[in-house]
Amino acid sequence: MKINGVHYRSIALNDDGWSVRIFDQRALPWELVHVQLTTLEQAARAIAEMWTRGAPMIAATAAYGLSLGLREDASDAALQKGYETLLATRPTAVNLRWALDEMLSAVKPYQGQARIDAAYKRAGEICDEDVEINRNIGLSGLPLLREMAKKKSGAPLNILTHCNAGWLATVDYGTISAPIYMAHDEGIDIHVWVDETRPRNQGALLTAYELQQHGVPHTVIADNAGGLLMQRGQVDLCLVGTDRVTRNGDVCNKIGTYLKALAAHDNNVPFYIALPYPTIDYSMESGDFIPIEERSAREVTHMSGRKADGSVEEFQITLSDGANPAFDITPARLVSGYITERGILKQVCNGESDEPIFMADVA
């Protein structure tokens, strides 16, 4: 990913070899704030308060968070406590638990400095693997975009996305953005409708920022607008990320995704999910069982913005109380396909076994 032309990852070790640099995504797009994480508690806070967010980035931050914790206390008790602290930060994404379990397996055989070294090694690998996964999601999705763009005979390919599943949500590339950037880079004319994504506005703030930095034409719209755009034929493809896909193919993603999937289905617009394969939780039968995070109502009743004088401030936008469920479930029946690093899946589960059915096998 590039910010003002400089290549960054969303999370990286500092030159000291142990402290961790993330961006405070709450300050974007107004300001690029580098944050140094030096303790497990900071990492936990950064996840819970959404300085950093997105299922893969939560996983990477938790992995380094556990490493930071072990650096202070490498005992079994501290390891277990740290695991639980980090696991409790956000309930919905499956990637968090996956990364913490990976870390646990990696460090358990060791004690003391060897344990700390093993932790940093595995955290680094988790990040590198995430980059490679996202790059391969891009390669899986690229032929689909090429194919769809051909049918537009010169007109821009209009993609609608919700929330942020770009590089800010991952270590690099992004799940939905990897194929978009690759297609854009090879000259395909792409335009992205960016759902604002209330209440935290990840679309208007983060996705729009990313696309701007990469030079991809895009337009921010109210979350309400996507239905009309699809009615009018102004959307060729919906492409969103996910925090967890269950065995039956149900998709948990940012609140509002389900509404767009319904509109896509009603207007014959393909609706694709881009995700790392490990986001599929084969242990969970359907979306009915996914815990839906209930976040603070203040995220609905207040928001931040930039004033005329350039400073950023929080302001109140209603006098009433709010409710703030953060995710919803898009039933598998509304999903056209799942773009993963292994290829595009038609179904995530092939009947009895946990093997997916690939789109190529269907065609």
For a second copy, which residue of 248, 286, 324, 350 counts as binding (CB under 8 A)?
324
Q: What angle do CA 219, 220, 225 make, to 5 degrees?
A: 105
- By CB under 8 A, which span of 32-40, 181-189, 314-322, 345-353 interacts with a second copy? 314-322
Instruction: Let me know: does 295 contact 253? Beta carbons within 8 Å.
Output: no
> Considering Cα of 184, then 188, then 189, then 195, what sign does the dihedral take?
negative
Strands across the sheet containing 244-246: 280-281, 244-246, 251-254, 327-330
Q: Which of residues 167-196 bind a second copy (CB under 8 A)?
A: 193-194, 196
- Catalytically annotated residue among 130, 195, 236, 243: 243
Among candidate residues 99, 105, 175, 94, the one with its CA nearest the CA of residue 133 = 175
Which stretches of 39-86 are assigned E, i.e. beta strand?
Answer: none
Options 140-148, 152-160, 170-178, 219-227: segment touching a second copy (CB under 8 A): 219-227
Residue nearer to a second copy on the CB measure, 188 or 263: 263
**In whole angstroms, how close is the CB of 136 to a second copy at the nearest point?**
29
- From the CB of residue 317, how many other CB atoms can be counted at a distance below 10 Å? 11
* The one among 113, 231, 283, 296 contacting a second copy by CB under 8 A: 231
How many chain residues interact with a second copy (CB under 8 A)? 63
Tokens (6 digits) for 282: 């084969």
Residue 316 within binding range of a second copy, rule CB under 8 A: yes
Q: How far is the CB of 193 from a second copy (least distance, A)?
A: 8
Look up 243 and say whether it is catalytic: yes
Q: Which amino acid is at 347?
A: Q
| By the rule CB under 8 A, 32 interacts with a second copy | no
**SS3 category, 273:** strand
Minimum CB distance to a second copy, residue 30 (Å): 8
Cβ contact 101:83 at 8 Å: no
The nearest distance, CB 304 to a second copy, in angstroms, is 8
Interface of this chain with a second copy, residues 252 to 271, rule: CB under 8 A? 254-256, 258-260, 262-263, 266
**Pick from 244, 238, 193, 199: nearest CA to 220:** 193
* Contact string 82-111 vs a second copy (x = CB under 8 A): ------------------------------
Q: Is residue 216 a contact partner of residue 208, using CB atoms and an 8 Å limit?
A: no
Determine, following the binding rule CB under 8 A, whether residue 27 of this chain makes contact with a second copy.
no
* Binding test (CB under 8 A) with a second copy, winner from 53, 115, 184, 198: 198
Q: Are 13 and 123 in contact (CB under 8 A)?
A: no
CA–CA separation, 268 vs 255, rounded Å?
22
Q: How far apart are CA 332 and CA 88, in angstroms?
A: 28
- Asked if 226 is part of the footprint of a second copy (rule: CB under 8 A), the reply reads yes
Residues facing residue 200 across a β-bridge: none
Which of 156, 224, 220, 209 is CA-nearest to residue 187?
A: 156
Please, which residue, 228 or 362, has the CB nearer to a second copy? 228
- Rule CB under 8 A: is residue 300 a binding residue for a second copy? yes
Interface with a second copy includes 211 (CB under 8 A)?
Answer: yes
Contact positions toward a second copy, by CB under 8 A? 29-30, 193-194, 196-199, 201, 204-205, 208-209, 211-212, 218-229, 231, 254-256, 258-260, 262-263, 266, 292, 300-308, 313-325, 327-329
Residues recognised as catalytic: 243
